[in-house]
Amino acid sequence: MSSVTIKDIAKLAGVSHTTVSRALNDSPLINPETKDRIKSIAGSLNYTPNYSARSLVLDRSYNLGLFFSTLHTGTSSGFLYEAIKGVNDVIKDQFNLIVRGIDDYKSYHNVNRKSFDGLIVMSQSASDQSFIEYAADKEIPIVVLNRPIDKVKVMNLVPDDQRGAYRVAEHLIEKGHRRIAIIEGKQGFKSTQARRDGYREALEKHGVPLRNEWIVPGNYDLESGYAGMNRLLDLKERPTAVFCSNDDMALGAIKAVTERGLRVPDDLSVVGFDDHLFSAFMSPALTTVRRPIEEISRAGAEKLLSFIEKKQVEKSTVYFHTELVIRDSVKTIAGGN
Amino acid sequence: MSSVTIKDIAKLAGVSHTTVSRALNDSPLINPETKDRIKSIAGSLNYTPNYSARSLVLDRSYNLGLFFSTLHTGTSSGFLYEAIKGVNDVIKDQFNLIVRGIDDYKSYHNVNRKSFDGLIVMSQSASDQSFIEYAADKEIPIVVLNRPIDKVKVMNLVPDDQRGAYRVAEHLIEKGHRRIAIIEGKQGFKSTQARRDGYREALEKHGVPLRNEWIVPGNYDLESGYAGMNRLLDLKERPTAVFCSNDDMALGAIKAVTERGLRVPDDLSVVGFDDHLFSAFMSPALTTVRRPIEEISRAGAEKLLSFIEKKQVEKSTVYFHTELVIRDSVKTIAGGN
DNA sequence: AAGAGCATTGTTAACGTGTGCAGCACTATG
DNA sequence: CATAGTGCTGCACACGTTAACAATGCTCTT
């Protein structure tokens, strides 16, 4: 069952392989009748083009890379899922979607124009700056999603994390809270900083005191949310509300609260960030910030395809709206402080 | 910055391109000194091999396909995440990992030996039987994970869902429950049937009555768990325990319970299946069955690599142990019934 | 000293496509 | 009738790599 080539078809049709190639590619040069004849022969032989050969001569790989900063700690499953779904919906059959974590590369050696027609980087950390620069330098069509980057100019689609964090912190203040803690995201991630900044901005704007002991580190996973909340609960002066830098940590944090016999939101209010699938179904349903990852991924894929087609890239930064989602994990308190 | 080829290197080194090819591939035929010289020239020119050309002549694509039944409803993000992580950990730099949903294919046309060195199918539904048969027929090295398949013989690694379901149902019975409902998984999914069978088996074995109205449909997503539980709560005779066919639905189900002012497990016991990342962190922590998807994925990838290397496939079915994970969502009750 | 054998390198073809250019037959134009 | 034009097809080469085979120079053996 060795595979059939255009030369086999040519022989059967009594034409040259050139004619077959043209016919299958719908060249207007070919007589409609021979074209049909060739196509039907190809169909009956179950011909499939050899993509390696085509790639070689056309200088296209038919590969699109979807790169994450890491596929280990820091990338939540929901994030991965939404990104793949969004991109996949757009590219369909046209390209192979190759998924990889940047931190798995020892060297970027085989990231080049020959191997990838384009790249989508779901960037979470400054640590992949070098990768982005490398790819941009090689002039591979590229879009960078999720993390705003500086220095190198590329198409950059990002959620407005800072604004979202600002809104959710402000929401806590409006509900009467004045003792508001934060469990931060993974160090080095840009999103960690943006959410921290939004949080600070809201507190400062409303003259709410900011205490160092209410700022605890985390790394975006469940366990770190659990640990972070325990640290806060051990303080003499507890906060009345805690802003967790993502929903996973919020879930861990709530676990820590209930383990001590306390209740959310009655004894302590908790908010998250991301609006994961499960967040609406937790008890209590989590107040959080929706970050449109799937939408950004879709938009990024569309941009990339147009770059590849037009053989020309645009470079700009586009912010996507983040949205406060109010549910049941925040208590309204009377006095504040 | 047009890319450098072995011929360019050959010119600079004053040798033929064949020698360069051999040197870079560490052929023992080449004089160690010239080899070093060529390698250093290649390094300084920043040479990267053209994989399309290499693929063409070697008849290898360097592509591995990771195929899911669907990337839409029915595939939970945790499942996707664990599968990608497991496979990716094994293949590292050797191959491109191409992720796709089978239901996105209009035709399997460009699934062939030329385009894929091997396939990993995370099969969830009988609907991809035709895909598996197609691939097996084309003699592409293949492993099928997660779903036990019949008819076509391939390497098949699956969790023992039925045994797991049996154990968790038995656990409920041991805790004194005799009114046990089930919210089923997506119709047509093999796992749905296996879990149902395990559940029935346990009930029959222990002489626990099985009532039709306590068997409600679902489709593995949060919403369907929520809806299913509401159906059960509307019954005149409510169950005392509910086996949800996965953790996502358990989460939705618990939501429905708490919404009515009832509590888990005090008023109603709930168990799930999968042991998702978040299950230990729910309140109450969910009693469930651990299904080692990442482990299976890793094992599958290793098998596949060995098939490709040895150019020979084994065919058998291997069951992976599923494990009852006891947490806090089941109440011990005195009498039963 | 001649031939065998080895180490190293080069020549040439092949993988399956796509494409510039030439060529053919036929029609239209004057 | 000669010429230009048009519609269609084939020839020959290119893409970058690997590999079978040939060729070269050298060493060793007898």
pLDDT of residue A73: 73
Contact A228, A251 (CB under 8 A): no
Give the mean model confidence (pLDDT) for residues B144-173.
94
Query: Is residue B263 scored above 90 in pLDDT?
Result: yes
Query: Is residue A250 scored above 50 in pLDDT?
Result: yes
CATH of domain A63-158+293-320: 3.40.50.2300
- CA-CA distance, A211 to A15, in Å (whole number)? 82
Are B254 and A283 within 8 A, CB to CB? Answer: yes
pLDDT of residue B317: 94
> Using alpha carbons only, how large is chain B's radius of gyration in Å?
26
Q: What Å value separates CA A300 and C1' D3?
A: 57
Q: What angle do CA B208, B211, B213 make, to 5 degrees?
A: 150
> Percent of chain A at pLDDT above 70?
98
pLDDT of residue A2: 61
With H, G, I as helix, E, B as strand and everything else as coil, classify residue A219: coil
- CA-CA distance, B220 to B228, in Å (whole number)? 11
- CATH architecture, range A161-291: 3-Layer(aba) Sandwich (3.40)
DSSP sequence for A29-68: TS-HHHHHHHHHHHHHHT----HHHHHHHHT---EEEEEE
How many angstroms separate the most distant Cα atoms in chain A? 91
Q: What Å value separates CA B53 and C1' C14?
A: 12
> Percent of chain B at pLDDT above 70?
98
> Percent of chain B at pLDDT above 90?
81
Query: Is residue A43 scored above 90 in pLDDT?
Result: yes
End-to-end CA distance of chain A: 78
For residue B16, count other CB atoms closer than 10 A to its CB. 13
For chain A, strand residue ranges (E) read 63-68, 96-101, 118-122, 142-145, 155-159, 180-183, 215-216, 241-244, 269-271, 288-290, 317-320, 323-325
* Residue A1 confidence class, pLDDT cut points 50, 70, 90: very low
Query: Is residue A337 scored above 70 in pLDDT?
Result: no
Contact B248, B227 (CB under 8 A): no
Mean pLDDT rounded to a whole number for chain A: 93
Encode pLDDT of B97-152 as tens digits: 999 999 988 889 889 999 999 999 999 888 889 999 999 999 999 999 999 988 88
pLDDT of residue B94: 87
- CA-CA distance, B256 to B223, in Å (whole number)? 10
Q: At what angle do helices A190-205 and A161-174 cross, to 10 degrees?
A: 40
Query: Is residue A48 scored above 60 in pLDDT?
Result: yes
- Six-digit token string for A159: 């959620």
Residues of chain B with CATH 3.40.50.2300: 63-160+293-320, 161-291
Partner-chain residue, chosen from B1, B114, B258, that has the shortest CB–CB distance to A52 = B114
- CA-CA distance, A156 to A165, in Å (whole number)? 20
pLDDT of residue A76: 82
Q: What angle do CA B333, B184, A327 make, to 5 degrees?
A: 80
Query: Is residue B337 scored above 60 in pLDDT?
Result: no
Are B114 and A281 within 8 A, CB to CB? Answer: no
By C1' distance from the Cα of B114, the closest nucleotide is C16
- B56-93 as b/e, with b when 16 or more CB fall inside 10 Å? beeebbbbbbbbbbbbeebbbbbbbbbbbbbbbbbbee
* Residues facing residue B317 across a β-bridge: B156
The answer for residues whose C-beta is within 8 angstroms of residue B142's C-beta and 6 or more apart is B118, B119, B120, B121, B132, B135, B136, B154, B155, B304, B313
With H, G, I as helix, E, B as strand and everything else as coil, classify residue A104: helix
Encode pLDDT of A162-182 as tens digits: 999 999 999 999 999 999 999
CATH of domain B63-160+293-320: 3.40.50.2300
Give A-chain residues touching B114 at CB under 8 angstroms: 3, 48, 50-52
- B62 versus A311: which is more confidently predicted? B62
Q: Which nucleotides of D are covered by protein (CB under 7 A)?
A: 7-12, 14-20
Encode pLDDT of B236-260 as tens digits: 999 999 999 999 999 999 999 999 9
Residues of chain A with CATH 3.40.50.2300: 63-158+293-320, 161-291
Give the mean model confidence (pLDDT) for residues A261-290.
92
- CA-CA distance, B69 to B79, in Å (whole number)? 12
**Lowest mean pLDDT segment, chosen from A77-81, A198-202, B50-54:** A77-81
Query: Is residue A230 scored above 90 in pLDDT?
Result: yes
Residues of chain B with CATH 1.10.260.40: 6-49
**Lowest mean pLDDT segment, chosen from A137-141, A231-235, A245-249, B274-278:** B274-278
pLDDT of residue B2: 60
With H, G, I as helix, E, B as strand and everything else as coil, classify residue A136: helix
- Six-digit token string for A298: 């879709």
- CA-CA distance, B28 to B128, in Å (whole number)? 46
Quick check: bond before B239 cis, omega within 30? no
Contact A268, A241 (CB under 8 A): yes
**Residue tagged 């499942």 (tokens):** B79
Are B48 and A251 within 8 A, CB to CB? Answer: no
**Lowest mean pLDDT segment, chosen from A214-218, A312-316, B230-234:** A312-316
Give the mean model confidence (pLDDT) for residues A248-265.
95
Encode pLDDT of B84-93 as tens digits: 999 999 998 8
The chain A residue lying nearest B81, using CA atoms, is A77
Q: What angle do CA A327, A331, A334 make, to 5 degrees?
A: 145
Query: Is residue A34 scored above 60 in pLDDT?
Result: yes
The answer to whether A50 CB is within 7 Å of strand D is no
Give B-chain residues touching A102 at CB under 8 angstroms: none
- Six-digit token string for A198: 């939004």
Contact B257, B268 (CB under 8 A): yes
How many angstroms separate the most distant Cα atoms in chain B? 91
- Six-digit token string for A173: 């203040």
Mean pLDDT rounded to a whole number for chain B: 93
Which of A207, A204, A270 has the alpha carbon at shortest distance from A233?
A: A270
Strands A323-325 and A288-290: antiparallel
CATH of domain A6-49: 1.10.260.40
- A249 versus A280: which is more confidently predicted? A249
